[in-house]
Chain A
Amino acid sequence: MPIDIPKDKWPGSIKKITLGATAAEGGTRAKSITLGGQTTLPYLHFEAPTPNSPAIAIEIKSRKPEDWSPLLAEVWGEAMNDPAKWAKKAEEAGADLIVLALMLADSPDDAVKAVKSVLSASGLPLIVWGPGQAEKDNELLVPVAEAAKGEKLVLGICEDKNYRTIVATAMANGHLIEARTPMDVNLAKQLNILITDMGLPADRILMDPTTGALGYGIEYGYSVMERLRLAALQGDSMTQLPMIVTPGFEAWKAKESKVGEGVPESWGDWKARAVHWETLTAVALVESGADVIVLRHPESVKRVKSAIEELVMA
C-alpha cells in the first residue's frame, strides 16, 4: 500500500549566520562556522536536508573556577589555570568552537589578555561571556570587542535589561551577540526585536532561550525551543535565528553531576551519571533545535557529537 506521507512546507527558514572570521574574512581564525539555514524541523530529511550541522562548544574560564565539579577538574587538570592551554585542550577534545567565560575578578586588561591568548592558542571561533553582572559585563566586553575587532566573536550575554552597550560595541567592531531570555517564547522574540531595532542585523544574533538541566526544567526549555523553531518556520522573522544552549552549565549545576557523596544509592555511579546528565540534557536540546551546544566534559562532547552525526547523516 503506497502511503502519502504528510510533509510540511514551511514559508520561513532559519537565517544563516557565520561565527569567527578567517584571515580572508578579516580575522585570524583557522576556520569559521556557519549555522542555521534550516527550512524544516530538526533532522527531518524526508522534508529537507540539514544544511549546517550544529556545533559543539566547550566552555572554559579565564581563571580556574573554584566551584566546578571535581570530575571536571580531573579531566582538564592543570590546563584550567591557563585559558590558552585549556582552549587548546578543548580543541583536541573535539570542540567546534570555544566559549571563554570571563570572571568577576578580571580587570579589563585581564579580560583582553585572556581573550588574546585564547585567540592565539586556538584557531576555533570564539564566544566570550561576561561574568554575568550588567556593569561588569559592559566594563569587560567593550575592551574585548575592540581588541578583537574583526574576529566575529560572539559577545554575551545580552539580556533585556542590559543589551544596549554590548549590542553597540558588537556593531562597532563587527562581532555577533548572544541574546538570552528566561525560557519564554515571547521574551525571546521581544529581545531580538529590541536588538535589531538598534540596528544590529538579525544574522548577527545567536538566540539563547535558556534551558534547565535534565530534572531541573529541561521540558520548559525543550518546548520553548520547539515553539521558537515552529514560529520561525511559520515565517516569524524575529525567531529565525540559530539557538545556543548551555547544557554543560545547567547539568553541572545539578546535584546529580556535581557531587558524588551524600546522594541516594539509586543514583548509581557518579561519573557515569554526570556524563549521562550532561549528554541527555544536550541531546534532548539538539532534538528540539539547538545549533550551538555548550558542554563541559570531553566524554559528553564525544557522545553528543556522535549523536549529531547520526542525525545529520542523510
Chain B
Amino acid sequence: MQHTLTFTGENIHATITVPTNTLLADAAQHAGVDIGQPCGGQGRCGRCAVQVTLGNARRRSTLRLSPEDIAQGFALACQTVVEGDLAIYVGPQEKIERRLTTDRVVAEITVPPDYDYDQVQSIQRVHLDLAPPSLEDQTDDWSRLQTALRTQVKMEKVACSLHLLQTLSDTLRAGEWQVTAVVERNIQQPEMPMRLIEIYPGRVDEYSPLWGAAVDIGTTTITLWLVDLVSGQVKAQVAEYNGQIGRGEDVISRIIYSSKNGGREELRQRVLDTINGLLDTACKRVKVRPEDVMKCSIAGNSTMIHLLLGIPAGNIRLSPFITSVNHPPLLIGSEVGLAIHHEGTVDCLPGVASYVGADITAGVLSSGLEDSENVTLFIDVGTNGETVLGNRDWMVTCACSAGPAFEGAGVLNGMRATTGAIEEVWINSESLEPTYRVIGGGKPKGICGSGLISLLSEAFLTGVIDKAGNVNLSAKTKRVREGSHGGEYVVAWGTETETGEDIVLSRVDVDNLLRAKAAIYAGFTVLADTVGVPLESTSRGLVGGSVGKYINVEKAVQIGLLPDMEWSRFEFLGNTSVKGAYYALLDWRRRERIGDIARRMTYIELSADNSFYDAFTSALFLPHTDMTRFPSVAQALDKT
C-alpha cells in the first residue's frame, strides 16, 4: 500500500509517496529532505527526531524520547516506519538537540526570591543631607558626617580611612552637603564599627546599581560574575584560564613553584592579572569602572586562596597538611591587589582543610546539598575532583587529583567552553565519520569539556578506541592514524577548522581523560564505601564543573565519569563555586551558612589506604572494569 508523506519545516516543503513500512529517514532522503543522522541511523543519538503532526507511524525505538515528546508526535526518523499518510514537521537542528532527554543544561541564574537588599546586604548606600557649617556651627567635617550617619540612617560608630579623610572636605562641599555614602556594616554583630568605603558628592538614584563581584578561582579556570547588589542581578559573567597554568597544571605544582625564589609573588601577580582582566572585561560590558565594584566575594580551593593573598602555601602539601588560614578575615581591595574600589571589601570564603577549600563549601551551599533530606551526591568535575556525599545531618567530602582535562586544558586540542569549541560529537558507527556542534556555530577551534566527554564516549562505543583507550589503528577510516603521540582520531580536518590545523583526539588525550574520570569516579565510590552508604541509595546526583554549558549525562555515564543511575536523578549545576560566592556576596545569612558548612563537613583522606588506588585502576577502563556497575552501558554496547 502506498502512502503520501508531506514534510514541512523552515524552507522545507516536500511531498512523496512511499509504500508501507518505509523508514521515515529513507522517505525523507527520497523527498530531498535532509535529516542528519550522526549516529548512522541506529537510534543512538536522537538527533533525527521529527514531529509527526498527522497520521500513523510506528516507532521501533523510543529511546531518547520522553513520554511528553511522544505525546507531541516526536519520532526518530531512523527508527520509525510509515503505516499511513503522514504530515511531518522537521524542526531546526538546534531545537532538536536540546530535546534530548539526556542533556542537562545549567539553569539560568536567578536572584534568590528572598533577597532583600536592605536586610541582608552588608554593603549599604545611603543618602545624607548634612547641615552646612557656619560660624555658629563649628563642627568639623568628619563629625558632621558621623552625626548625619547616626541621626539620619542610624549608623553608629563608622570608621574611615585616611584616604577618605583626605578627600572628605572637597566631597562634602562639591555636593553642597548632599552626599551619598557607601558603608560596610556587620549585620551579625551590629555593635562592631561600620566602615566607610566611599563617599560621593550629591544624591544617587537609590535603584541605580551598586556593584559587587563573585569570583571563583579555579586551579584551571577563573570565573567572575558582576552583580548589582541592589537588585541582586548578575549583570555579566566572564571566565578565563587561570594565568598560573603556565606554572603548573595542578595545585601541587603551583605550591612547589610558589616555594621557589620569587615564585609566590609571581603566582600572586598572575592570578591578580587574570582576575583584574576579567573584572575589566565584565565592567566594560556593562559600562562601569572596576573601581565602582565595592565588594568581592571569592571562592577557591585553599591553595588558590593562599596564592591570591601571597600567603606561603608550602605546608598544604606536606604532612600533616596544615593551611595557614582556613578562614581569612575581611580584607580590602587595595591590600589584596584587586582592581576594585581600593577600600572595597574582599571576602575570601572559609574552607575546611588543605584539600577542601572554599570552592567546595560554597559549592555545597549553592547545590542545596546541606539542606536536603535524602542522601545526595555532589560531584565537582574539576581539576581537584572534589566530591561531597551527605544530607542535612552529615556530610563527608574528599578530593582527588583529576587534572584539568575536563576543562579542556592539558588536552592537545582542548579549550574552554567558549565560541569555537566543539561541545558535542557523534560518530557514525558504520563510516566512523563524526558530526559535531560548535559553540557559536562557526568553525571549530578546539574541543571543550562537554565535547571531550561526548567524543570519548562515541569513540569508545564505535570502536575507535578499545576499553583500555588504545586507538584501534586497524579501524577502516582515514581519520584514525599514527600521530606523534601514538594513535589518534581526526575529529575535524584542517579545512574545516578556524586554525587550518586538524583537530584530533590523541592517545595521550584519551589517557588524560581516562585518568581524570577514573580519579573522580574512584573518589566518590571510595567516599561512599568509607561511610558505608551504597551509591545506589543516593537520591540525587548533582554535577558541578566548568565542562561547558551543558553535560550529556548519558555520555558521562558511558565513559564511567558518573555513576549509572537514572538520568533523571542528575542535575548539572555548572560552576557551583562561583554561584556559592554569588549567594555569599548578596546575603550575609548565606555567607554564615558557608562557615557552618565548613564546620560540619568531614574530610576523608583518600590516600590513607589502598582502596583509592584500587578503585582508581578499576575505573581506568571504559566505562569501568566492573561492567555490572554500568548496566545501561552494557546495553548500549550490545546495540552498537
Contact = CB atoms under 8 A, between A and B. Distances in A.
B620 A236 contact: no
B467 A187 contact: no
B466 interface: yes
Interface in A176-231: 184-187, 189-190, 193-194, 197
B238 interface: no
Contacts of A91: none
B625 A189 contact: yes
Contact of B467 (A184, A190, A235): A190
Contacts of A139: none
Nearest to B472: A164
Interface centre among B467, B468, B614 (most CB of A within 10 A): B468
A193 B467 CA distance: 8
A185 B467 contact: no
B466 A186 contact: no
Contact of B628 (A193, A197, A236): A236
A184 B616 CA distance: 12
B466 A184 contact: no
B interface, over-half SS: loop
A229 to B, nearest CB: 16
B614 A185 contact: yes
A190 B466 contact: no
A194 B617 contact: no
A197 B617 CA distance: 19
Nearest to A237: B627
A238 B621 CA distance: 14
Contact of A194 (B466, B614, B620): B466
B147 interface: no
Contact of B614 (A186, A235, A236, A238): A186
A185 B628 CA distance: 16
Interface in A115-160: 160
Contacts of B626: 189, 236
B628 A194 contact: no
Contacts of A160: 468
Contact of B621 (A185, A190, A236): A190
A194 B620 CA distance: 13
A248 to B, nearest CB: 28
B281 interface: no
Nearest to B637: A197
B186 interface: no
A19 B246 CA distance: 57
Given A236-B626, A236-B628, A186 B468 contact: no
Nearest to B463: A197
Interface in A228-245: 235-236, 238
Interface string B23-64: 000000000000000000000000000000000000000000
B618 interface: yes
Select the residue from B467, B617, B625 with max chain A CB neighbours within 10 A: B625
A186 B467 contact: no
Contacts of B628: 235-236
Interface string B465-476: 011100000000
A193 B625 contact: yes
A160 B468 CA distance: 9
A190 B468 contact: yes
A197 B620 contact: no
Nearest to A227: B614
Nearest to A164: B474
Contact of B620 (A186, A193, A235): A186
A185 B620 CA distance: 13
A36 B570 CA distance: 43
Contacts of B627: 193, 238
Interface string B560-594: 00000000000000000000000000000000000
Interface residues of A, number: 13
Contacts of A184: 617
Interface string A63-88: 00000000000000000000000000
B614 A197 contact: no
Interface in B211-228: none
A197 B625 contact: no
Nearest to B621: A190
A193 B637 CA distance: 13
Contacts of B618: 185-186
Given A185-B614, A236-B628, A197 B621 contact: no
B477 to A, nearest CB: 18
A171 to B, nearest CB: 15
A190 B620 CA distance: 9
Nearest to B617: A186
Nearest to A234: B628
A205 B94 CA distance: 49
Nearest to B616: A186
A194 B625 contact: no
B486 to A, nearest CB: 11
Contacts of B621: 186, 190, 193
A185 B466 CA distance: 19
Interface string B608-624: 00000010011011000
Interface string A260-285: 00000000000000000000000000
A198 B195 CA distance: 72
Contacts of B614: 185-186
A189 B625 CA distance: 7
A187 B617 CA distance: 7
Contacts of B620: 186
Contacts of B466: 194, 197
A169 to B, nearest CB: 15
Contacts of A194: 466-468
Nearest to A188: B625
A52 B614 CA distance: 31
A185 B626 CA distance: 11
A165 B626 CA distance: 26
Contacts of A238: 625, 627
Nearest to A235: B628
Interface in B485-511: none
Interface string A298-311: 00000000000000
A236 B617 CA distance: 17
Contacts of A189: 625-626
A276 to B, nearest CB: 30
B469 to A, nearest CB: 11
B429 to A, nearest CB: 16
A28 B557 CA distance: 50
Q: Lowest 6 CB-CB distances: which A-B pairs, in order?
A: A186-B617, A186-B618, A186-B625, A189-B625, A190-B621, A190-B625
Interface of B: 466-468, 614, 617-618, 620-621, 625-628
10 contacts: A185-B618, A186-B620, A186-B621, A190-B467, A190-B468, A190-B621, A194-B466, A194-B467, A235-B628, A238-B627
Interface of A: 160, 184-187, 189-190, 193-194, 197, 235-236, 238
Given A186-B617, A190-B621, 12 more contacts: A160-B468, A185-B618, A186-B618, A186-B620, A189-B625, A193-B467, A193-B627, A194-B466, A194-B468, A235-B628, A236-B626, A236-B628
